[in-house]
Amino acid sequence: MKKIIIPVITSLFILSATAQEFDKQIAEAQNSYNNGDLENTRFAIQNALREIDVQIGKDVLALLPEQINGLSSDPAHDEVTSVSSGFIGLFIERNWSDMEKNISFSVISDSPMLAGVNALLAMPLMVTSSDNNQKKIKVNGYKALLQRSVDDQNKVTEYALQLPFSNALMNITYDGEISELEFMAIIDQIPVGEVINIAK
């Protein structure tokens, strides 16, 4: 019973702390605006938006399984960051690994790769079908780009899925030798649709 109660209390404390910081930043923005300090108003609003992004990231990570195909994740190494300027906004990452294999999941808003992936997905099938190492697929009704990397002996060394949604890019990769069927079975263990509903 204690094992259940402690994580719940910890989660509630984090949610409360995030809400308090958000409320503080909104109050600061309102106060600055009323005083005609527009620069600080913008700064406080940006901070409030970062708090929202961080909470979205935590909600996404809470959806992800702790284990996939016997590979474990370490929540201490999960990443959630939000940057209001530059090329990247929200960044979420989790890894499942052992000594030989690694599965990586990430969501990056405003990713520099987003335009390129969207362009490839928009191309006619006859243009993209010439590359045996990439193809268009659908995951939960969303268009995605499936790619594989091979070595000099044509042995698969990595599979990667790139799925654009809204202004974000979801990336799921497997480092190691694996078949396409096995990789797609890994994708099926990640609640892609639920992640999109939260992060879009």
More confident residue, 27 or 94: 94
Same domain for 79 and 136, yes or no, is: yes
Same domain for 7 and 38, yes or no, is: yes
pLDDT at 110: 86
Q: The dihedral of CA 40, 52, 168, 67: what is its sign?
A: positive
Tens of pLDDT, residue by residue over 80-115, are 998 754 445 799 999 999 988 999 999 999 888 999
Same domain for 17 and 95, yes or no, is: no
Give the pLDDT mean for 34-61: 83
End-of-domain residue from the set 63, 79, 101: 63
Number of domain units in the chain: 2
198 near 60, Cβ under 8 Å?
yes
Indicate the pairing of strand 71-73 with strand 79-82.
unpaired
Distance CA 90, CA 58 (A): 11
Chain position carrying tokens 């030798």 = 177
pLDDT at 84: 55
pLDDT at 130: 63
Residue 13: pLDDT above 50?
Answer: no
* 1-15, 98-112, 123-137, 144-158: segment of lowest average pLDDT: 1-15
Same domain for 118 and 200, yes or no, is: yes
**Tokens linked to 59:** 């909600």
SS3 assignment, position 181: helix
pLDDT at 195: 97
Same domain for 32 and 79, yes or no, is: no
- State the SS3 of 25-54: HHHHHHHHHHCCCHHHHHHHHHHHHHHHHH
Same domain for 99 and 19, yes or no, is: no
Same domain for 160 and 116, yes or no, is: yes
Same domain for 47 and 76, yes or no, is: no
End-of-domain residue from the set 63, 83, 112: 63
Residue 15: pLDDT above 70?
Answer: no
Residue 7: pLDDT above 70?
Answer: no
pLDDT at 33: 83
Q: In CATH, what number is assigned to the domain containing residue 117?
A: 3.40.1000
Same domain for 27 and 93, yes or no, is: no
Q: The dihedral of CA 126, 143, 141, 180: what is its sign?
A: positive
At 157, the amino acid letter reads: T
Whole-prediction pTM: 0.78
Same domain for 116 and 77, yes or no, is: yes
At 142, the amino acid letter reads: Y
Residue 132 is part of which domain span?
A: 67-200
More confident residue, 103 or 20: 103
Residue 8: pLDDT above 50?
Answer: no
78 near 93, Cβ under 8 Å?
yes
Long-range contacts of 119-124 (CB under 8 A, 24+ apart): 120/145, 121/145, 121/164
Residue 37: pLDDT above 80?
Answer: no
Average pLDDT across the chain, whole number? 84
End-of-domain residue from the set 63, 91, 109: 63
Tens of pLDDT, residue by residue over 141-181, are 999 999 999 998 889 999 999 999 999 999 999 998 899 99
Backbone angles phi, psi at 79, to 5 degrees: -125, 135
Same domain for 175 and 126, yes or no, is: yes
Same domain for 43 and 72, yes or no, is: no
